[in-house]
């Protein structure tokens, strides 16, 4: 599947990236060549293979990963807001949404 500059614009939009004309020109052949490279996977017949999604090790899968649903200390409002670019009255302030 050839990748066009229009595809790159669509992907950038999905990824919340505002790319420049120069970036679009550079990225189009780069992404196209990487996609062409990864398409070598089509040489392998995987029709009978279960995808490796989930725990990677049997011991990991056996490990209990739940905990009691009880409140625990957390970062707290003051620390959580300490690194915010624009905190206001205990909230994260952002530009208007619409």
Partner 1 sequence: MNTIERIKERRASGVSVREVVEPAVNAAESLNETLNAFLQIDRAGATKRAAELDASGETAGALAGVPVAIKDNICVRGLQTSCGSHILGNYHAPYDATVVERINQAGAVIIGKTNCDEFAMGSSNENSAFGVVRNPWDTARVPGGSSGGSAAAVAARIVPVALGSDTGGSVRQPAALCGVVGVKPTYGRVSRYGLVAFGSSLDQVGVLAANVRDAATVLSVIAGRDAHDATTADVPVPDYASELTGEIKGARLGVSRALLGEGLDAEVRASIEAAIEAYRELGAEIVEVDLPTAPYAIAVYYIIATAEASSNLARYDGVRYGFRAEESENLRAMYRRTREAGFGPEVKRRIMLGTYVLSSGYYDAYYLKAQKVRALIKDDFRRAFETCDAIITPTAPTTAFMIGEKVDDPLAMYLNDIYTVTANLAGVPGISIPCGLSNAGLPIGLQLLGPHWSEAILLRLAHAYEQAHPIDARPPVCAASD
* Site residues, partner 1 (CB under 8 A): 3, 7-8, 11-12, 14-20, 23, 26-27, 30-31, 33-35, 37-42, 44, 46, 49-53, 56-60, 62-65, 67, 75, 79-80, 82-86, 92, 94-98
Min. distance of Cβ 89 from partner 1 in angstroms? 16
CA distance 96 to 56: 43
Min. distance of Cβ 14 from partner 1 in angstroms? 5
CA dihedral 52, 53, 58, 62 (to 10 degrees): -170
Min. distance of Cβ 69 from partner 1 in angstroms? 14
Helix (H) or strand (E) holding 88: strand 87-88
């Amino acid at each position: 599947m050839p990748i066009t500059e229009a595809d790159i614009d669509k992907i950038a939009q999905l990824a919340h990236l505002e790319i420049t004309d120069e970036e679009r020109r550079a990225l189009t052949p780069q992404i196209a060549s990487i996609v062409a490279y990864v398409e070598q996977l089509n040489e392998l017949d995987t029709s009978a293979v279960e995808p490796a999604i989930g725990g990677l090790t049997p011991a990991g899968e056996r490990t209990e990963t739940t905990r009691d649903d009880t409140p625990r200390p957390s970062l707290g409002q003051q620390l959580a807001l300490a690194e915010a670019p624009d905190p206001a009255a205990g909230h994260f302030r952002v530009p208007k949404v619409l």
